[in-house]
C-alpha cells in the first residue's frame, strides 16, 4: 500500500493523492483517489468499501506510512479481520522486489497522467480531471504487458483474472 502524493486537486472532493494497493496474488494494482491528510479511519473505510469487494479480506498489508496504521482504531480494525501489519520504508526491495517495481511504475504512470491530462475535454466537451480517468488508467495498466508482469502463458494479468482479452485502440 503506497500513497502517491502532491498531485493536483481533482474531482468534486478535491483529491490530491492516489492510494496504490498492490495485489501480490494477482500481481496487479488497484488505484484509489484519496487525500494526503486522510486519517486511519478514512483509509480503513476506503479499503473496506473499494478493495475487499474485489479481493476479499487482506491477509498481509505492507504500508510505507507508519502513522496511518499505528493508531489504536486501525490496529483494532485489522485485528478483527486477522490482518497482519508490516511496515517498510520507501523503495525497500527487501520486502518484495516485484511489489516495489510495481509501485515505482504506478507512481510514474500516475504522475504522467496528472501532468499531461490536468484538464482533458472529450468529443462532447466534457472536462475530465485525473481522478475521473482512474478506471481507464487502471484498465490500461492491467492490460499492458510492459507494466504488468505476464504469466508463463504470455497473457496479461487482466486476461487471467477476467478470462477475456480487451482491445484498447
167, part of any domain:
no
38, part of any domain:
yes
Between CA 48 and CA 72 the distance in angstroms is: 18
Q: Is pLDDT at 33 greater than 90 in this prediction?
A: yes
11, part of any domain:
yes
169, part of any domain:
no
Confidence of residue 72 (pLDDT cuts 50, 70, 90): very low
Instruction: Look at 144 and 17; give whichever has higher pLDDT.
Output: 17
Structural domains counted in the chain: 1
Is the entire prediction scored with pTM above 0.75?
Answer: no
68, part of any domain:
yes
Question: What tens digit of pLDDT does each residue of 57-70 get?
Answer: 766 666 665 555 55
62, part of any domain:
yes
61, part of any domain:
yes
134, part of any domain:
yes
List the CATH number of the domain containing 115: 3.30.420.10
Confidence of residue 42 (pLDDT cuts 50, 70, 90): confident
What lies within 8 Å, CB to CB, of 57 at 6+ separation is: 81, 82, 83
Between CA 50 and CA 40 the distance in angstroms is: 15
Angstrom CA distances, 26 to 1, 45, 99, 112, 134, stand at 15, 22, 11, 24, 19
Can you give the residue range of the structural domain that contains 25?
A: 2-162
Confidence of residue 73 (pLDDT cuts 50, 70, 90): very low
Amino acid at each position: 500500500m503506497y500513497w502517491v502524493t502532491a498531485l493536483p486537486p481533482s474531482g468534486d472532493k478535491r483529491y490530491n493523492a492516489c492510494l496504490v494497493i498492490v495485489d501480490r496474488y494477482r500481481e496487479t494494482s488497484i488505484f484509489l483517489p484519496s487525500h494526503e491528510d486522510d486519517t486511519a479511519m478514512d483509509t480503513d473505510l476506503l479499503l473496506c468499501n473499494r478493495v475487499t469487494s474485489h479481493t476479499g479480506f487482506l491477509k498481509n498489508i505492507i504500508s510505507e506510512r507508519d502513522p496511518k496504521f499505528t493508531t489504536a482504531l486501525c490496529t483494532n480494525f485489522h485485528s478483527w479481520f486477522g490482518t497482519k501489519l508490516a511496515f517498510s520504508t520507501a523503495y525497500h526491495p527487501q520486502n518484495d522486489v516485484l511489489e516495489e517495481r510495481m509501485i515505482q511504475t504506478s507512481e510514474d504512470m500516475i504522475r504522467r497522467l496528472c501532468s499531461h491530462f490536468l484538464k482533458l475535454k472529450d468529443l462532447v466537451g466534457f472536462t475530465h480531471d485525473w481522478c475521473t480517468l482512474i478506471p481507464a488508467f487502471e484498465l490500461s495498466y492491467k492490460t499492458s504487458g510492459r507494466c504488468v508482469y505476464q504469466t508463463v502463458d504470455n497473457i496479461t494479468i487482466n486476461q487471467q483474472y477476467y478470462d477475456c482479452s480487451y482491445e484498447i485502440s
